A and B are shown apart, each in its own frame.
Chain A
Amino acid sequence: EVQLVQSGSAVKKPGESLKISCKGSGYSFTSYWIAWVRQMPGKGLEWMGIIYPGDSDTRYSPSFQGQVTISADKSSSTAYLQWSSLKASDTAMYYCARSAYSSWYSGYWGQGTLVSVSS
Chain B
Amino acid sequence: DIVLTQSPGTLSLSPGERATLSCRASQSVSSSYLAWYQQKVGQAPRLLIYGASSRATGIPDRFSGSESGTDFTLTISRLEPEDFAVYYCQQYGSSPITFGQGTRLEIK
Residues of A within 8 A of B (CB): 35, 37, 44-47, 50, 59-63, 95, 97, 100, 103-107, 109-112
Interface size class of B (residues with CB under 8 A): 20 to 34
How far apart are the CA atoms of A59 and B96 in the complex, in Å? 8
Q: In the complex, what distance in Å separates the CA atom of A106 from the CA atom of B91? A: 11
CB distance from B31 to the nearest CB of A (A): 9
Q: Are B98 and A47 in contact (CB under 8 A)?
A: yes
B39 CB contacts on chain A under 8 angstroms: 45
Measured CA separation A68–B39 after assembly (Å): 25
For B54, the closest partner residue in chain A by CB is: A105
Cα A44 to Cα B100 in complex, Å, equals 8
**Contact of B99 with A by CB under 8 A:** yes
Task: Report whether A100 and B50 are in contact in the complex, using a CB–CB cutoff of 8 Å.
Answer: yes
Complex CA distance for A100 and B44, rounded to whole angstroms: 17
A44 engages B33 (CB within 8 Å): no
Give chain A residues whose Cβ lies under 8 Å from the Cβ of B97. 35, 47, 50, 61, 104
| Chain B residues within 8 Å of A, Cβ to Cβ | 1, 33, 35, 37, 39, 44-47, 50-51, 56-57, 88, 90, 92, 95-102
Query: Which of B46, B56, B96 has most chain A Cβ within 10 Å?
Result: B96
User: Which one of A63, A97, A105, A109 has the highest number of Cβ atoms from chain B below 10 Å of its Cβ?
Assistant: A105
**Roughly how many angstroms separate A61 CA and B94 CA in the complex, as a whole number?**
11
Per the bound structure, the CA–CA distance linking A50 and B90 in Å amounts to 15
Query: Of A46, A109, A110, which contacts B46 at CB under 8 A?
Result: A109
**Chain A proximity of B53: nearest CB distance (Å):** 13
